[in-house]
Amino acid sequence: MSDVKKFLYVNRKAPHGTIYAWESLEVVLIGAAFEQDVALAFVDDGVFQLVKGWDTGELGVKNFQPSFTALGDYDVQKVYVEREALEERGLTEGDLIEMTYEDEDDDWAEKSSIRIVSREEMAAIMADSDVILSF
Amino acid sequence: MKLGIVVYEGPYQHEASDTAYNFAVAALQKGHEIFRVFFYHDGVNNGTRLTTPPQDDRHIQQRWSELAEKHGLDLVVCVAAAQRRGIVDEDEKNRHGKDADNIAPGFRISGLGQLIEAGIQCDRLVTFGD
């Protein structure tokens, strides 16, 4: 369909301290109803959004991390995480939550949505997108 | 070109709303179409008519309202972000039993779908904010 655009949600900020990450997720959840080609990107401090084991109790803020793991149910199948951003923060893929989707072209096999990409590859993904919503 | 504008930051604290306004004026002067201006995050605070800046300063809310009237701009404030921050129109006032509304002329409160629709419909979606 020609009216399907490639939406890329770019997450650049730490999950807490400001509301950008949380309200970004709200856009992704609403946007899922529009049947566009959706991908998420995590760069800079945005990679902390996917680090597992959040405990927001003492912040007095709702823990919205479970919504990330539910994104597969919203047909979000592409989650790009920048390798350099992880390395610069002493993180590896093993520190991240699991995000999965069911592949309809492969007998609904459960597959990981997370793809670790280089900074150069991330630039190409951005260039290839039609609409970038950057948070 | 058909443009969508997104404003993430509140007035005065941050220059984003000023820059977005200047961009909108320049784009209209060049003959571009502005499909919608969408206010999100603290950007919803641009849409309260209770704003009262010092008289020798620019009136950011009024400037948007006047631009909307002059060019028929669609200024949309995100409902979820607005509820958190106390930006209220008459419908929201009645729904939540508040004692007043404060939405400025030319602004309307609607859902995030309006942002996605702008992304789909516009040639370019231009974001102003951190």
Facing residue for A27 by CB, picked from B115, B125, B130: B115
Strand partners, A91: none
| B chain contacts of residue A31, beta-carbon cutoff 8 Å | 112, 116
Per-residue confidence (pLDDT) for residue A3, from 0 to 100: 77
Per-residue confidence (pLDDT) for residue B84, from 0 to 100: 97
Residue A70 counted as domain residue: yes
Residue A117 counted as domain residue: yes
Residue B31, both tokens: 């003959």
What's the structural domain count of chain A?
Answer: 1
Q: Which of the following is catalytic: B77, B78, B88, B122?
A: B78
Q: What is the mean pLDDT of residues B18-24?
A: 98
Which of A5, A22, A23, A129 best tests the B interface by mutation, with the highest count of B CBs <10 A?
Answer: A23
Does the distance separating the beta carbons of A36 and B120 come in below 8 Å?
A: yes
Give tens-digit pLDDT for A34-79: 999 999 999 999 999 999 999 999 999 999 999 999 999 999 999 9
Domains of chain B from N-terminus onward: 2-128 (3.40.1260.10)
* In contact, A79 and A39? CB cutoff 8 Å: yes
Q: What is the mean pLDDT of residues B98-121?
A: 97
Residue A1 counted as domain residue: no
| A chain contacts of residue B8, beta-carbon cutoff 8 Å | 20
Closest chain A residue to B120, measured at CA: A5
Q: Which residue range is the domain that position A81 belongs to?
A: 6-134
ipTM: 0.93
Task: Read off the CATH number of the domain in which A93 is found.
Answer: 3.40.1260.10
Give tens-digit pLDDT for A84-131: 999 999 999 999 999 999 999 999 999 999 999 999 999 999 999 999
* In contact, A69 and A98? CB cutoff 8 Å: yes
Q: Concatenate the DSSP letters of all residues of chain A into one string.
A: -TT--EEEEEE-S-SSSSSHHHHHHHHHHHHGGG--EEEEEE-GGGGGGGBS----GGGT----HHHHHGGGGGT---EEEEHHHHHHTT--GGGBPP-EEEEGGGTTEEEE-EEEE-HHHHHHHHHT-SEEEE-
Instruction: Quickly state the pLDDT bin for A2 (edges 50, 70, 90).
Output: low
pTM of the model: 0.95
